[in-house]
Amino acid sequence: MPEYAKSQPAGFTNAIERVAIVGAGGTVGSHFVAALLKTGKHKVTALSRKDSSNTLPEGVLVAPIDYDDEATIVTALKGQQFFIITLSPTAPRDTHSKLVQAAAKAGVPYIMPNSYAGDIEQVKLGEEIMLGPVAQAYRDEINRLGMQWITVCCGFWYDYSLAGGEARFGFDFDKRSLTIYDDGNTKNSVSTLSQVGRAVTKVLSLKELPDDENDESLTVSAWLNNAVYVKSFVVNQNEIFESVKRVTGTSDIDWTVTHEATTKRYEDGLALVKTGNMTGFAKLLYARAFYPDDASDCSAKAHNKLLGLREESLDEATQVGVDMVKELQRRPERMAS
Ligand SMILES: NC(=O)c1ccc[n+]([C@@H]2O[C@H](COP(=O)([O-])OP(=O)(O)OC[C@H]3O[C@@H](n4cnc5c(N)ncnc54)[C@H](OP(=O)(O)O)[C@@H]3O)[C@@H](O)[C@H]2O)c1
């Protein structure tokens, strides 16, 4: 049964005002926080490990938590209307579940689970990159505990993936080398980190529920147990290379370009992961997403227009990526996962 604001108890505000987040100082979480705070409509609480060395953005309320003491998480989540989880892939396996269980005890109705990847409906791709079943289990647990989820399908983060080394978009900026997968013409739909932040903020700034059965305006409730689809660009590696050359003022002679089959890269990455070497993971993940017959492209479902997201410039995003290279090199453990 659809829910309406008119049937809610007195005091119902029909707006998501209190948002809690794990990873407020992280790669994507910091963009959520920046965009949410910019609206002036949301009070953001950062759940952060009490011994965390991450710098948290100004303007967030900080709730120190201890993953071995559930009460600290439940207390931090009491009264929150929406809970965003952006958790490092290096976090212990049971961390996500600890957060979700605590959210249920605290009475949080809606959760954005860790995922931030391609289309959840591309099931075969999800299975072959191993992330699909994990994200499905996160969503299932949220529903099992009586809450609802909104996930984000954004494809690869463009700036991060460009900056993140050869295993991602194939670029090594220190060596000025590029590995092109197959012929470099397979397109992926990708999103800048800031675009992901803006998309989620647009959704969370809508009315929570329609006022009544005649209210056809967009509401947060339209996305419950569903995905926010977002994109910045639909690009292939050859187009990215052209943009990189424009932005860095270089030309073909400055770059060493090699080609490799995506199938071989996928198998090589998988073999490394099977021996416990997680450096193979990014390799298999990106290679598989660029398979010509089943690439990661959810652009046809993108909610950009619906949410009023502005067009972005590829070269500006490439510049952000180039500027991010050194920052990511300072996070070797995170980047190797
Ligand atoms: N689409 C893409 O291209 C793409 C790329 C990378 C990742 N992702 C997805 O996005 C998710 C978030 O990635 P991210 O790079 O934003 O994460 P991140 O910055 O590496 O980490 C986010 C937060 O996790 C917390 N954390 C770190 N280590 C932890 C540990 N051992 N135990 C508990 N918490 C820990 C930290 O919060 P505190 O220090 O405040 O506690 C940190 O700020 C990933 O897990 C992955 O699913 C998508």
All domains in the chain, ordered by first residue? 5-155+193-229 (3.40.50.720), 157-191+233-297+310-336 (3.90.25)
Q: In whole angstroms, what is the distance from residue 225 CA to residue 68 CA? A: 29
Residue type, 124: K
Q: In whole angstroms, what is the distance from residue 153 CA to residue 308 CA? A: 17
Q: Is the CB of 278 under 6 A from ligand 1?
A: no
Protein residue whose Cα sits closest to atom 2 of ligand 1 = 156
Dist. CA 26 → ligand 1 center (Å): 6
Protein residue whose Cα sits closest to atom 8 of ligand 1 = 116
| pTM, two decimal places | 0.97
| Sheet of strand 188-191, all strands in order from the earlier edge strand to the far edge | 156-157, 188-191, 233-235
Residue 265, class by beta-carbon neighbours within 10 Å (0-12 exposed, 13-18 middle, 19+ buried)? buried
Q: Is the CB of 170 under 6 A from ligand 1?
A: no
Protein residue whose Cα sits closest to atom 3 of ligand 1 = 156
User: CB-based contacts of 327: which residues, under 8 Å, 6+ apart?
Assistant: 163
Q: Among 183, 175, 223, which Cα is nearest to 199's?
A: 223
Which atom of ligand 1 lies nearest, measured to the CA of 135? 47
Render each residue's pLDDT in the chain as its tens digit; 337 residues: 779 999 999 999 999 999 999 999 999 999 999 999 999 999 999 999 999 999 999 999 999 999 999 999 999 999 999 999 999 999 999 999 999 999 999 999 999 999 999 999 999 999 999 999 999 999 999 999 999 999 999 999 999 999 999 999 999 999 999 999 999 999 999 999 999 999 999 999 999 999 999 999 999 999 999 999 999 999 999 999 999 999 999 999 999 999 999 999 999 999 999 999 988 999 999 999 999 999 999 999 999 999 999 999 999 999 999 999 999 999 988 788 7
